[in-house]
Structure 1
Amino acid sequence: MLDLLRRLSPLSVSSNLDKITQLVPDIQEDLLSAVDQPLTVARCKPTGRDYLLCDYNRDGDSYRSPWSNEFDPPIDDAAYPSERVRKMEVEANGAFDVYRSMYYEGGIGSVYLWDLDDGFAGVVLLKKESGRGEEEAGWDSIHVIEVDERGKTSKSAHYKLTSTVILHLGRENDTVGNLSLAGSLTRQVESDLVVESVGGQGKDGGHVCNIGRLVEDMEGKMRNQLQEVYFGKAKDVVGDLRSVASLGQVERDRRTQREVFQSMGGK
């Protein structure tokens, strides 16, 4: 199933997941936890703020808001982070809200943390959409972080970051027709970092800073790779296969080019 989904469009992954789980209901939970989907948005009723939905803040059919720490719809036996991890979650949401505003100039971000036996884990979600109608684009980034507090020293911790970016671009007009470009990219990094005391939360504040730096560095690298490698290659392929100029214009340009080369060769 995972091999099949990797070969289908990321924009259709949600509908494809529904169809697969209808055929094989027994694998639904495992499949949903293993496949990254384009993020969806919900409104936190107590605070009126938007937040992002994913498998990491889901409990059954309910989703937890990072702003109010409440599930919608409410459930009685929901699993919540411990008091310490919840404080870090609040701090991380504030920090990444500033990051989202600076880097994305809009969009929506959410951070969710949960407890582990030897530390804690979390996910940083960022979503930005722009354009409607003839031009549209969307960026979804999902950063899953695991923090092992049993570091090599008492002042360090081991971080493991797995990042996935889902990007789609669409354009429709008389010149290019109906053009759609979509794909996903996943990268992973592990690092041992010193945990310094930051703010009123001490080392917990240091964890938030370390996670922020890891996510910022990873997003920068993935953006550059998408722009230079993937978009560059797609531009070369499309340029070889299809020209927006007429054949007559292309022939005139080539003739002019040959004449320039010939005149330069004569000199």
Structure 2
Amino acid sequence: MATADPFDSALDLLRRLNPKHTSAHLNALINLAPDLTEDLLSSVDQPLAVRRCRQTGRDYLLCDYNRDGDSYRSPWSNEFDPPLQDGGAGPNGGGGGGGDEDENAAGLPSEKVRKMEIKANEAFDLYRELYYEGGVSSVYFWNLDDGFAGVVLLKKVATPGASGEGTWDSIHVFEAIDRARLTQYNLTSTVILSLATNANPALGELDLSGNMTRQVEIELAAENDEQQIANIGRLVEDMELKMRNLLQEVYFGKAKDVVGDLRSVGSLSENARDREAQKDLIGSMRR
């Protein structure tokens, strides 16, 4: 009998636990199996944490792609917090690849890619304000041997109130690979959504949490850096629109149908009387 792989077993367990508490479950698994720490952190999407940049005073998002050990790089200042002691190894602790060797050795993008990163952060900061009317956004780029890669992060937390709360996290990881006259974009997008409400005491509390992942590959013309950023922005915008529509029409619609069939505000006797009255009305119209 083959022995189960501990990493696969950990992923299977996480898929079966409440996605609202993914971070707590992940920390518990890391405590149980410390040797799986890097693999789990790089493979499991979890709600994004927010930190304030010490140099600029602006909030930014933390993820595995701007992490080096216990330090995280701010997209606004390009500095790690806390500062690195002896240099890092790039995104995921594994090196940036290509570009300036000194910058990549410190976990930083090359000068050219950093300039694109700055412009992308400005563009998605505007996108965040227009689409989400609040929240936090962060964009991180790094070098590849045949192009560059990056991640676009967006987070919006609904202000907790007496009736409910909600959190939206979207993570868009992409590769931009240079071809002869086109650039190939490989985009993987994940949305983590958590909603909770107790607005109607008669129905009780509702807690709806989950995540969705979609992928797309496409080739587009990109003659300069500005066009690269425009292409990435268009891909992320289209993917978010599709995923929002799927969540609203499929997942929320299905949940509404299930809850509507299982639970009712009125009593069963009242519902039975309403159905009888409806039958009588239809019968009288047919006479």
- Contact in 1 for aligned 2:158/2:166 (Cα 8 Å): yes
Aligned with 1:67: secondary structure? coil
Aligned with 1:52: secondary structure? strand
Matches within 5 A, 1:31-46: 31-46=40-55
Aligned residues: 257
- Contact in 2 for aligned 1:10/1:38 (Cα 8 Å): no
Aligned-pair CA distance for 1:29: 0.1
Aligned with 2:256: secondary structure? helix
Structure 1 residue 80 corresponds to structure 2 residue 96: no
Structure 1 residue 90 corresponds to structure 2 residue 118: yes
Aligned with 1:177: secondary structure? coil
Matches within 5 A, 1:245-260: 245-260=266-281
Aligned-pair CA distance for 1:122: 0.4
Cα distance in 2 for partners of 1:259, 1:206 equals 66
**Which of 179, 203, 209 is the aligned partner of 2:206?**
179
Tell me which residue corresponds to 1:140: 169
Cα distance in 1 for partners of 2:202, 2:78 equals 49
Cα distance in 2 for partners of 1:175, 1:83 equals 59
Tell me which residue corresponds to 1:199: none
Aligned with 2:229: secondary structure? helix
For residue 96 of structure 1, what is the amino acid of its counterpart? F
Structure 1 residue 157 corresponds to structure 2 residue 178: no
Cα distance in 2 for partners of 1:212, 1:8 equals 33
Structure 1 residue 195 corresponds to structure 2 residue 235: no
**Which of 58, 64, 71 is the aligned partner of 2:73?**
64
Aligned with 2:192: secondary structure? strand
Tell me which residue corresponds to 2:91: none
Tell me which residue corresponds to 2:61: 52
- Contact in 1 for aligned 2:203/2:264 (Cα 8 Å): no
- Contact in 2 for aligned 1:82/1:114 (Cα 8 Å): yes
Matches within 5 A, 1:102-141: 102-133=130-161, 134-141=163-170
Gaps of 5+ in 1: 197-202
- Contact in 1 for aligned 2:174/2:186 (Cα 8 Å): yes
**Stretch moving more, 221-230 or 257-266:** 257-266
Aligned-pair CA distance for 1:256: 2.3
Identity of aligned residues (%): 63
Cα distance in 2 for partners of 1:213, 1:263 equals 57
Tell me which residue corresponds to 1:25: 34
Q: Give the superposed CA RMSD.
A: 1.1
1:88-136 deviation per Cα after TM superposition (whole angstroms, max 9, x unaligned): 0000000001111111111110000001111111000000111314211
For residue 54 of structure 2, what is the amino acid of its counterpart? K
Gaps of 5+ in 2: 1-9, 88-105
Structure 1 residue 219 corresponds to structure 2 residue 240: yes
Cα distance in 2 for partners of 1:110, 1:256 equals 57
Aligned-pair CA distance for 1:138: 1.0
For residue 238 of structure 2, what is the amino acid of its counterpart? D
Tell me which residue corresponds to 1:200: none
TM-score by length of 1: 0.93
Aligned with 2:286: secondary structure? helix
TM-score by length of 2: 0.87
Cα distance in 2 for partners of 1:175, 1:109 equals 38
- Contact in 1 for aligned 2:49/2:62 (Cα 8 Å): yes
For residue 178 of structure 1, what is the amino acid of its counterpart? E
Moved over 4 A (4+): none
1:147-177 deviation per Cα after TM superposition (whole angstroms, max 9, x unaligned): 111x2x32x1000000000011101241221
Cα distance in 2 for partners of 1:137, 1:176 equals 18
Aligned with 2:198: secondary structure? strand
Aligned-pair CA distance for 1:8: 1.4
**Which of 231, 238, 241 is the aligned partner of 2:252?**
231
Aligned with 1:51: secondary structure? strand
Aligned with 2:215: secondary structure? strand
Tell me which residue corresponds to 1:264: 285
Cα distance in 1 for partners of 2:215, 2:12 equals 19
